[in-house]
Amino acid sequence: MTTRKSELSHLKNIGPTIERRLNEVGIYNEEQLVEVGAVKAYQMICRKHRNQTIPVCYYLYSLQGALTGHHWNDLPERLKGDLQKQAGRE
């Protein structure tokens, strides 16, 4: 079995737990995260961990911030609301 090397920890907001969970759903690098997008990546993680609460701020916002280079808490409130709607978490 070949283990893929993750290349996500250099992105803003991506700590070991989020990186591990992204890896669990097949996302190992920035290009894959860009291709999938923050909302879909968040939904994939939620599906993988159905029996756990996956906090919107620590995952959805963090993933979006990783894509834009912003701290998750610095995202505009309107964008946060749009992301929640897209993710079905309003």
Mean pLDDT per 10-residue segment, the chain (90 residues): 77 95 96 98 94 86 97 96 90
| Phi and psi torsions of 29, nearest 5° | -150, 170
Q: Is this model's pTM higher than 0.75 or not?
A: yes
Q: What is the pLDDT at residue 2? A: 52
Q: What is the pLDDT at residue 46? A: 94
CATH annotation of 25-87: 1.10.150.20
The span from the CA of 21 to the CA of 41, in Å, is 10
Q: What is the pLDDT at residue 57? A: 80
Nearest CA-CA partner of 59 in 76, 77, 46, 68: 46
| Contact predicate 12/69, CB 8 Å | yes
